[in-house]
Amino acid sequence: MGNSQNLTPGFAREFIADIRDDLEVLEPDLLAMEALGSNVGCDLVNNAFRAVHSIKGGAGFAGLTHLGDLANSMENVLTALREKKLSLVFPVPDVLLAGLDRMKTLVAALDSDTQPSHEREKLALEALISSPDGTVYHGRCGPFLADRLGRMLDPGVLKKAVSQGKLIYAVEFDPQQDFLEKNRRVRELLTDIESIGELVFADFDPTLAPGTLGPGQGPLTAVVATILDPDFLAQVLEVESSRIIPLDPDAMEFPEPSPQVPPGSEHPEASGAGMAMSPLPNGLPQEVPATTIRVNVELISRLMNLAGELVLTRNQFRSLVERIAVQDAGVNQVMQSLNTVTSLIQEDIMRLRMQPFGNLVSRFRRIVRDLSNSLGKRVDLLVEGGEVELDKRVLEGLANPFTHLVRNFVDHGIETPDSRKRAGKPTNGTILIRVGQQGGQVHISIQDDGRGIDPDTIGAVAVDKGLVTRESVFSMTDKEKINLVFKPGVSTAETITDLSGRGVGMDVVKTNIENLKGRIEIESTPGRGTRVQITIPLTLAIVSALIVGTGGLRFAIPHMQMQEVFHLKPGELQTCVERVGGFDVLGFRGGLLPVVRLRTLLGIETLFFDSITREERRERRFSISGPRRGQDRRKQAGGGIFVIVLKQGINRFGLLVEEMFDTEEIVVTPLGPGLSTCVCFSGSTFNGDSGVIMILDAPGMADQARLGFGAVAREEKRRRGGKLGEEKQGLCPVNLMLFSFAPDDYFVVPLASLARLDVIRPTDIHTVGQQRFMDHKGTTTTLFFLDEIIPVAPCEPSGGPVGVIFPRGLGVSAGIVVGMVMDTVAFCESMNTDPVSPDGIRGTAFIGNRRVRFLDMEHISKRMETLVETAGSMIGEEE
């Protein structure tokens, strides 16, 4: 019973799929209704009604009588709620939810032979509305009618009528009964209506002759505004009172005023073109979906692959176009369009498979509600960022671990209301779920304001269960002890409930998260609360990546794993790198950065050209730092090396590569079977002409290289503590002025070498011919921009104030525009000098978190004097 017998299976499946969708929509609505109680707005109840009505219809078509029966009872209750004949206090929401659950089990049992009974839920629903004093409201067509009419009525007219003290009714006439048989003209009806009120609307032409209303014509609807009550109105209009349906204009939805939709035309789709958004009292907007379409997941996968291929082809085409260096502006324009369209297609297709995290949340709300009720606790569930989208598969993978976490929080985290009151906390516990996206990662945190986790208790339990030794626990930080809960078998529940106390949970949660290539961590403060942090990479992203090269091969590094990149000139590498505790490290930002060569890491053999023996030889030197300090015999084309600063959690390390190419948007293909030993890679992608290239994984590489961040950190500490032991010169602090000429290009000048520093507005700078001047404090002074004096990148005018420095002892009256003045710093370290550096730069250092270059003021002053003389002589010639 319950299986479709009248329809072909395919047809029935469609309806059943629709029913499942409706059931999904229904649960969050019912929960929201319960939360709002008597404050609930009609929109929410309408939504729920629509869903149940749709289920009833679908069940009818598919021959599912039990389901249809139950849906009918629920419909009646929802109608009563709508009519305010019933209010949302206990036990109404519970009965509704029980009805929902029963509908779910009925649907789930469709394939089996036995259908569970729905009598209990049905009787409960009916009991709600058949009360001794009220009448059972049939609600045949009332709410539906109101919805339909809402699209066609003018709210202004209705409001005016209401303000005149009139009531609004919809009256349904049966052409056969009310007109033909009574030989009554429609026009007479109009007169009747006008005598007692106002005809707001009619969906038939009032001037029609009765003969034109043939049998089989559907009911005619008129909307009337009158001061009469329904019974009196029925008398006057000579219709049965059940045909008089009161309407509440406040509860009706009116479409946006749109000139394209002619009044009175029935186009439900057209008026639904906009999303009707009405905020609920607690600020949650409820959307009325316009249209959706069900799509086969296979088709979406294929579309995604094709989008990937399109990106690839577009890239290949783009490099061809660039190579041909076509002058034709038309080609470039078309290329632009192609770029834009391809990117948009790509984005939209990616979005097809993405679903908002909020879809999972409704599931949690139900669990929180049921569990907290059964445990006698009160818990509020708050969600931020439910709109962040994840790939459907990732969402599915998160469902189980999250369910478990939420259960844990309610079960073990939140205390009973009594305990909370005694602890001075509000009786309602709060669980906050936050979802955010950054780069290619999704960050999700769940936290509560409950009893927290005691690190020592966990530590003791872990030792008891033999999972760790007492000694290792002794040296652990609190955070490390708390994270022991992820070890299998750890549980501190006083009573083992059948839900989550058995202690098998958290390790499974961790495994699940790691299967999605994510990470999970716990923090907690006993007595205050606990927070679980989860990070999941967007595996199916099209990510932004930097293409680098070594040994003739290319690799991609996802931007989100990179912190920054800088370049070391040939020879700089040897001088700047030291060996600390068995690792090569580079001085960086006042600290030490472990570095590793990409080609060493991957075991790529490279050949180098020996300029002395003039032959290609195999690279055999793998250490970076070394005793050789002179010129490197092995000249590599272009020279220098790039240091890519990568992240592994909070650690940083530098990856050395010989070549750096563009940033590209790449489509990530995860590694296939058999490649799990490749810890340095997170996937592969296609890259223009190069075919397949591997995508590097920073944490994996750090593991592979066995980088000892702890040892490096200890050495850093040691150095910071014992500066005096170093054999560096110039320990007296020197006061430097720090400025930024071009973005991310920082310079310092000893304040002692300046005669003057001014800060002027760009409008103060005037240009005459080739020369710039500034008017300041009544005098005109020649100005040079820094890049006019020494070879540095030009500045980009930002419109903000700029600094002008005047070197001490300068023979001419001129100043240097140095861009944005940042700060003055007291510098105690020594500068790194460079055998090969541009004129005007004495050396480099790291200050704060920036790499800065020291200006050579002697050289700059000389240059300025020369420039001024030259300019002066030129002007002299012109005159």
Partner 1 sequence: MGDNNGSDTRGWQVVRFTIDDLSMGIDILGVREVTVIARITPVQQAPSFVRGLINLRGQTVTVVDLGVKLGRPGRTVGEQAHVIVLKQAHVGILIDTIGEIVPVAGGIEPVPSTMGFVENDAIEGVVNLEHDPVLIVSPEGFLDSMVTNSRGEKA
Interface contacts to partner 1, rule CB under 8 A: 305-306, 308-309, 312, 602-604, 669, 672-681, 684, 686, 691-694, 704
Angle at 716 between CA 621 and CA 738, to 5 degrees: 100
Query: Which residue in this structure is represented by tokens 């469902």?
Result: 399
> In the complex with partner 1, which residue's Cβ is closer, 674 or 722?
674
Min dist. Cβ of residue 334 to partner 1 (A): 23
Shortest Cβ distance from residue 645 to partner 1 (Å)? Answer: 22
Q: Tokens 């499942």, residue?
A: 20
C-alpha 863/C-alpha 840 separation (Å) is 9
Which CB, 385 or 700, lies closer to partner 1?
700
CB of 82 to partner 1, least distance (A): 53
Residues shown for the chain = 879
Choose between 233 and 693: whose C-beta lies nearer to partner 1.
693
**Smallest distance, Å, CB 486 to partner 1?**
22
Q: Which is nearer to partner 1, 275 or 297 (CB)?
A: 297
Separation of alpha carbons 182 and 173, rounded Å? 12
CB of 539 to partner 1, least distance (A): 14
**Of 670 and 811, which CB lies nearer to partner 1 in the complex structure?**
670
473 in Cβ contact with 432 (< 8 Å): no
- The C-alpha atoms of residue 513 and residue 510 are separated, in whole angstroms, by 5
Please state the closest distance from residue 840 (CB atom) to partner 1, in A: 43
Task: State the Cα angle at 398 between 393 and 399, rounded to 5°.
Answer: 100
The encoded tokens of residue 734 equal: 């020197």
Strands 220-226 and 197-202: antiparallel
Neighbour tally for 225: CB within 10 Å: 24
The residue (of 355 and 648) whose beta carbon lies closer to partner 1 is 648
Which tokens hold the place of 727? Answer: 């054999």
**How far are the Cα atoms of 553, 569, 655, 764, 863 from residue 566, in angstroms, in the given order?**
20, 10, 11, 35, 29
Peptide bond into 91 cis (omega under 30): yes
Beta bridge partners of 383: 433
Task: CB nearer to partner 1: give 424 or 674.
Answer: 674
Residue whose CB is less far from partner 1, 49 or 681: 681
Q: How many other CB atoms are there within 10 angstroms of residue 519's CB atom?
A: 16
* Least Cβ distance, residue 30 to partner 1 (angstroms): 44
In the bound complex, what is the minimum distance in angstroms from residue 518's beta carbon to partner 1? 21
Q: Tell the smallest beta-carbon distance from residue 393 to partner 1 (Å).
A: 17
How large is the greatest C-alpha to C-alpha distance in the chain, in angstroms? 117
Residue 643 tokens, joined: 């240091």
Least distance in Å: CB of 672 to partner 1? 4
Structure tokens, 378 = 């009160």
Q: Which of 599, 854, 657 is closest to 748 using CA atoms?
A: 854
- Shortest distance, CB of residue 398 to partner 1, whole angstroms? 25
At its nearest, how many Å lie between partner 1 and the CB of residue 730? 45
Cβ–Cβ < 8 Å for 621, 564: no
Provide the total of helices (H) and of strands (E) in the chain, helices listed first: 25, 37
Cβ-based nearer residue to partner 1, 604 or 812: 604
Nearer of residues 320 and 874 to partner 1, judged by Cβ: 320
Bridge partners, 759 (sequence order): 803
Q: Which is nearer to partner 1, 82 or 554 (CB)?
A: 554
| CA distances in angstroms from 34 to 29, 81, 93, 369, 773, listed in the order given | 9, 12, 6, 10, 73
707 or 748: whose CB is closer to partner 1?
707
Of 121, 135, 38, which Cα lies nearest the Cα of 74?
A: 121
Q: How far is CA 519 from the centre of its chain?
A: 17
Q: Calculate ∠ Cα 592-598-603, nearest 5°.
A: 130
